[in-house]
Structures are given as structure tokens and as C-alpha cells.
A and B are shown apart, each in its own frame.
Chain A
Amino acid sequence: MRDHLAPVLIVLALLAGVPLVVDSNVVLNFLKVALMLALAGTGWNLLGGYGGQFSFGHAVFFGTGAYAVAVLQVRFGINAWAAFGAGIVLGAVLGLAIGWLTFRAGLRGSYFALVTLAFAEVARIIASVWPLTGAGAGILIPLREGFLTLQFGSRAEGYWFVLALLGIAMLIVRAIEVRRFGAQLVAVRENEDAARALGVDVLRVKLLAIALSGGITASAGAFYAQTFLYLDAGLAYGPWISVEALLTAIVGGIGTVWGPLLGALVLQALSELGKHLGGDAPGLGLVLFGAVLILVVRFAPNGIVGLARSLRPRRLARG
């Protein structure tokens, strides 16, 4: 009955077993960051991959989730879990707001991409001068390990937490894929006018997609803040996370459930490799990412998932 969720659940269970087998901090840290990027990418992928609305500014959601969790705890003394939830909701609401402003105005394609980039940059500049967000000095979440403060003593617990977040996000995406909303979202990506003629409320579909997308990516930001306990404007709203979010989806397989996870693992591995080979040469990681992006777009436009699919016989009865 719930067949379509089974593969996701199996992989999640396997990933959940990793800390029981592997005791290396290096490996767990690597996976934790990769899963966080996959989470941010899963949010991007819902709007960009399924809905065809390419955002260059998903940092605006990531940063808002991150700052919400930090500011609500540090400045207002709100419980970490509640702040975490509020961060996700805020990301979704911000998505609705940005969607309302851009989609209602009919912005598509590169215009939409540029406007999202502008939103992220404006947020970055505001966060770098606003006393509430710690301005240029940033904001520090006091270290208080414990379940209630959402600060995990062992690496495994933090890993399981981000895995759970990613799992929920992937299950949401997979559930959308096999529902009316998913069909309409893909129809909007493929041809807006035709979708409209078939009774699809294009604005509503896009708004719902950007709200979910914003909420998911905000949860990655909230996890970032809760893990590293320090934020400044460049970390939270910087272009790096906008790039990583879209890159994980594009490299892994745009518009697929598995794309962001696969892409994040590959990119994170590349980035570690780059650090080993090039030492601390600044910007080397981005050069590597740029090269990978060019190669993927040129030779595997459907990413790793697309490559894998082309290697086995085409499934005809897709449902």
C-alpha cells in the first residue's frame, strides 16, 4: 500500500545504522554535514527540480532558519526545540511571502533566479548590521549539552537528528511525487499555459511549493546553527549555501527524491578531497564545484540518478 515509501525507508534505516558500525568522528562529521547539505538541497529540489523555479538564493531560507533558532533562544530565552520549529515555520512563511511577490508578478526563469539572489543578499546585509542578529560580530548559542537544549553530547545523536530531518523531507517529497499536487507541480515546470488550461491553479501550486521548499531548507539552517552554535551573516545568508543547495540537487539528479542525497555525498567527498590535495588554498573548493557542475550539465544533465537509470533497461510502466 505504501510501496512508494519503502525504498526511502530502507536507505534511511541503513544510514541510521552507520554510527553503530563506524566509530570514527571524521566519518560521522563528514556524513552529518553531507546530510545537512542534502536537506538544504531537498528543499531546493522541490521548488527547482519538480517545480522548475530555479532559485539562486535559497540561503535566504537557510539563514532564516539558522537565525530564528539562535535569536529566539539567545535573545528571548525560548526553548531550543520550540525555536527549531519556529525556524521551520518562519522559512515556510518567508517562502510564501517571496513567492507571493515574485510569482504573482509573473517572474519566471532567470528573472526569478535573480530576484531570489537579491532577497538572500538583502537578508545578508540586514543580518550584518542589525543588533538583534548580532550584526557584524555574529551570535553565539551558549554551549549547554542536553536533550532539552537540542545540543547532543555524542556525534551519533546529532547525526541521527539530521538524518531524521532529511528522512521526513524525503518522505514528504516522495509522497508529493505520487499525488495530484506532484503531477500539477511537474506540469507547471513543463508548460505553465498548458497546465492552466487543464485547470491547474498555477499560482497556488507555486506558492505551496516555495513554502514547503523554504521550510525544508530552513530546517537545514536551524540544524547548522544548533550544531556549530555560532552564526554570522556570511555563514547564514552567504551565497555558499545557495550554491550548495542547488548543486547537490543538480549533481545528484534534479527532480528526483534521491538526487540531493547522492549529490551531497559526492560533493562533500570532493570538497574533503580538495582540502587534502590543495591544503588551505582559498576558493579551491568552489573551483572544484564549478568544474563538476560544468561536467554534469554537459555529460549527465540528469545527474547521478539519470546516469544510473540510463545504465539499466528503461522501466516502461511508471506509475
Chain B
Amino acid sequence: MSNEPFVRLQHVSKTFPGVKALDDISFDINTGEVLGLVGENGAGKSTLIKILSGVYSPDPGSNIIINGKQVMNITPKNSLDMGIVVIYQDLSLFPNLTVRENISLSKHIEKNRKTVNWKNIDIVARNVLDQLGVQIDLGVKLGSLSVAKQQLVAIARALVYDAKLIIMDEPTSSLSKGEIDVLFKIIRQLRNRGIGVVFVSHKLEELFIVCDRITVLRDGKHVGTFPVSEVNTEKLISLMVGRSVSFERMAGDKFGEEILRVENISLAGNYENISFSLRKGEILGITGLVGAGRTEMVQALFGLNRPSSGSIYLEGKKISPKNPQEAKEMGIAYIPESRQTEGLILRQNVARNITLPIIREFAKKVKLLDFKELFAVARTWISNLDVRPNYPDMLVSKLSGGNQQKVVLAKWLATKPKVLIIDEPTNGIDVGAKREIHQLLRGLANEGMGIIMVSSELPEILAISDRILVMRQGRIAAEFDGNEATQESIMNYAVPKGKAAGGVI
């Protein structure tokens, strides 16, 4: 191992319109080290990865030195040529091709071959898997493998590229304990061969098992890079969550009777044994790591999946919505996480989006729509929620993220729901607009609505939740009073217990 770091980042910044995603980042990635990269959602991890892989170019003034040479312009192609390979969460593999092709095909392309040498494809794949000490049937279609094995195939493919640095984005998110052990063994092996690994994970305990050093990002800034011996989970959590952005707490005080009760609902592969209740005027925050089953669980309330056991009561009456339409008619509203692909019809105007769920209410004489009233209602909501610009016939695609979210909110408030479920309410919205959304939600709760807010952003959860449920691996791991919870206490329950995961070293 040489002493020269493989990658040196010096004053790297990246600005998107309205957001500074990376702010003056400087640290090194050494040759052949395993570097953990942690930070909350939006801390800048994925932006950093995309800069290294050449998808984004950094702001002027940023300086990146790879293998001792200053690289002015990283493209996806030369990033690969320099040996930087990213394994994204979706793995970018071909489910319809065999394992051997998934591993070796890129080598054929690199060499600009016109024909396929199956012997070579097989040997290359076999060699790489042998090096990894992994046994996978080379002839089966990738799609029939477990995610863990697909992960290993993706690593094998990276090695075929002569990788010097492999960046793994949440590689363990869908692996079982045993599979994680195998992955760690392989990561150590790579390190021994001088191949560096950047390991991005939410599961902090894992980092201590496999990493040499850990880099913490927060709000686009580099908080620090520490040898694992110098930090522990508690320290990391406090470094990650000590965010500069925190919101003044807006707690509710007057709660009415219970409006929603969930008893022991389960659905295999989605969530297990969930029970909770919600009162009028209350904001129930549900948090946990990505993949903890939060979204799947709240979707059951909106008829998007049907629990195989357990029951749901709305105002004391047992309900089991079959589809969103039924849920809507019962008085349940659900605002999905992905505003642009699931919440809005981007090519339509604001008025049509707002009035879509209640469109039938405007059917008047001989079922024809009263557009005057439709626009009047849309205008009312636009001014109630202060959507800007305030034109009902503006295309929603032209609005900012915050205003788009207000349109989605308006569209569901127009249905006068009893229970409002909102998934990641401020995802990708700037700080000022976030605050506005929080105020709106609190205002709605004060008017007597029951609100369930799913969020990964702890400051948000802490700011407006009256009660907080923490989910972990499909179950409720803890419940907190909103006035008593802290980021650290929540994190302690959200992170899967790592001891079981990686006792073997």
C-alpha cells in the first residue's frame, strides 16, 4: 500500500438551484481502505457519490485529485477508467441475463468486441467469483437470485473493471444477517488486495465492524473523518444529528377523542404486528430508517395493501378499505412521498390537480362541470395555503417543490379528511417552505384533524409530532412522547441492533 491517498477531495462544493448540496468538502480516501460514509438523508452523500462517478460536475473552485493527478473534468467514462466503480442501490444489472454475462459483458464492450467469446465470458466470471470465494451458479438468470447474491454479482462486475475504489450505496439494506457477514468478508478481502471501498450505510453498527475510518457529513458539510477506534455509535449519532437546521417546537395541546385505531395488523414482507391509535388534533410522527416498512404500513390505511391479519377502526367503526377510492370516501387522505410521480399530474394545471379528488362535486346540471365553481374552489385553496404564484391555470410542473407540495396538500384538504397521512412532507423542499408546511400541518391538527406524518428527518419529527413511533425492520420499536424524545433516543431504536448482525470478525 502506498501512502498517497487514492482520492483527495479539496474544497469540493456543489450548488443546485436554491440548495447548497455540498459545502466546501475536504477529505481523503486512502488506497485500500474501507471508508464509512454516514449522514442523514440530504446530508450530501449521494451528491458526493455522483460527483466521483462523473454524473454531476462540482462547482468551480473544487479540486479533486485521483491517484496523484488532478482531474479537472470527471465523466462517467473516465471515472470508470480510473477504477472508480459505484454500485448503486438498484445495482444496474440485467435480470434477464445470466450471472456470467452480467459479470463479464462489460469487459467485452470495453475491448470493443463484435462477437461473444463464451469461454472467455465464463472464465472471467469464474475467476472473479473464485477470487471473491463466492459460489454462484454462473448459468442462472440474475433475476432468479436473491438480492444478496445479486449484490455479490455487482461487486464481481466491479472487479472486472479493475476497480481501485468501489463505492457501495446502502449495500446491506435488503440483506439478511448471514448475507451481511458474507459481504463483510468480501469487503475485507478487497481491502487486503489494495482495493478501497466506500461504504454508505444507515446501519451504524455495521460500520464499526467493517470500516477503517468513518466520514460524517451533515447538511452538505464535512463534520469529520475518524478512525473507528476513536468513535462509537453514540458519538456518530450526535455528530450526524447535530444539525444546524432545527425547528422550533410546535406542540399541540387540545386533543379530542380517538379517531383511528390500528390493532395488530401484519402483512408478510411488509410490516408485522402494528398497533397504535390517533386522536383528533394530534400529529403522530412515524420515523425509522428507509426500508423499515413505514410507507407500506401507512399505505394499508389507504387501501393500497390489505393486511393479512389485524383490524383498523375509524371513529370506532371497523374499516378495511379495498382501494384509495374507498379510503377517500371514508375520510382518509394519503399524500405519497413521491410528489412528482405519484402526487401530481405534472402536465395539468393547478386547479385541475387540486380538484381531482372532489371532481364529482362540480358536476351540476346534466352532469356538466361548473368550471366557475371549480376555479373558485381552487382559488380558495390557493390563497388558504398561499401557493405562489397564485394562478389556478398555471401548470404544476412550473411550480417550486414547496408550492407543488402545497398543491398536493390542497387537493387532499379539499376532501375534508378526518385523517391525513403524509409521507415525507418536506422531501426536497427548501428550509423556509418546510417551516410553512409544518405550520400548515399544525394548524390543521388544531382544527381537529388527526395527522400521521411519516418522515426520515428527525428535526421535523421532533418539531411537530405530539407522539412518535419508531419503526425498525417492519415492527414498531419504540413509542415516545413528542415532548421528551431526542434525536439520539430515536436513533438508538431506529438502528438495527448490530451485534447480532456482525459478531464474526
Q: Do A and B come from one complex?
A: no
User: Chain B residues in contact with chain A, CB under 8 A?
Assistant: none
